[in-house]
Amino acid sequence: MSTIELKYELFREIDSINDENLLHKISSYIKNQLHITNPIAPLYDPESRAYLNEESMQAIEERMNGSFAEMWSAYLYLSMAAYCHANGNPGMGNWFQVQFQEEQDHAKIMFNYIIQRGGHVELKAIDAVPTTWENPLDVFESTLAHEQKVTSLINNLFALTTQENDYATQSMLKWFVDEQVEEEENAQNIIDNLRMIKDNGYG
Ligand code: MG
């Protein structure tokens, strides 16, 4: 077992202990006897039982509370659904309604994670989204550009967890990293198809 794995195991074990005195004893033992000055859970607090790295948590909370990117994505896709339906593209409208649901699920993953780690989610206003586009191709090009932006937000958070040795948050974010590859690929495929149809003169 590597030192990192051992530290992780220790903190995981601590979480399952219910005796407060024992918790304090173990916490100080780890600190003083094992000389772990930069453990995986440097901010472990036996009282709240939270050992999420504070800086990563703040970044995630800010993202959830401030820009609340996944909810903005949901709102954007609902607006795109409305545009597609009004524009006579019900199939695309339905596709965006599914995206609307998916983005809400993404927001909920972050929401639940913050709660699980003893954080406080404070919901704020969601910024207005565009309501009209030039044509279906424009809608999907905007979708791709938006997902690329979300990818860079996720990457920034992921980089922060590496810097802070916050492996729990990193593990949660890994799902988002993979998801973004799929989101960008989906938008790109639809753009390619729409361009092909247009070039063939059927659009
Ligand atoms: Mg998303």
Structural contact between residues 156 and 180, judged by C-beta atoms closer than 8 angstroms: no
Q: Is the dihedral of CA 59, 60, 65, 67 positive or negative?
A: positive
Q: How confident is the model at residue 195 (pLDDT cuts 50, 70, 90)?
A: very high
CA of 60 to the centre of ligand 1 (A): 14
CA of 80 to the centre of ligand 1 (A): 15
User: From ligand 1's centre to the CA of 73, what distance in Å?
Assistant: 7
Q: How far apart are CA 27 and CA 22, in angstroms?
A: 8
Place of tokens 């593990």: 171
What is the share, in percent, of the chain residues with pLDDT greater than 90? 38
Residue 164's pLDDT is 77
Higher-confidence position of 13 and 144: 144
Mean pLDDT, rounded, of the chain = 78
Name the band, by pLDDT with cuts 50, 70 and 90, for residue 118: confident
**Mind listing the pLDDT tens digit for each residue in 81-96?**
999 999 999 999 999 9
- Of 148, 138, 154, nearest to 191 by C-alpha is 138
Q: What does the alpha-carbon distance between residue 21 and residue 36 come to, in Å, rounded to a whole number?
A: 20
pLDDT for the residue 163: 83
CA of 161 to the centre of ligand 1 (A): 19
Q: In sequence order, what DSSP letters do the residues of 161-176 get, joined into one string?
A: HHHTT-HHHHHHHHHH
Distance 106 CA to ligand 1 centre (A): 5
* 176 closest CA partner among 142, 159, 151, 156: 151
Q: Quick one: which of 60, 11, 5 has its CA closest to 172?
A: 60
pLDDT band at residue 20 under the 50/70/90 scheme: low
Stretch 42-53: mean pLDDT? 47
What separation in Å is there between the alpha carbon of 98 and the centre of ligand 1?
12
Phi-psi sector, 105: left (phi>0), alpha (psi -120 to 50), beta:
alpha
CA of 147 to the centre of ligand 1 (A): 8
Higher pLDDT among residues 156 and 135, named by residue: 135
Amino acid at 154: I
Q: Is the pTM of this model over 0.85?
A: no
176 CA to middle of ligand 1, Å?
7
Torsion of CA 159, 165, 170, 172, to 10 degrees: -150
* pLDDT recorded at residue 167: 86
pLDDT at residue number 32: 56
Triad 68, 74, 75: Cα angle to 5°: 90
Range of weakest confidence among 20-24, 75-79, 180-184 = 20-24
The pLDDT confidence band at residue 52, using thresholds 50, 70 and 90, is low
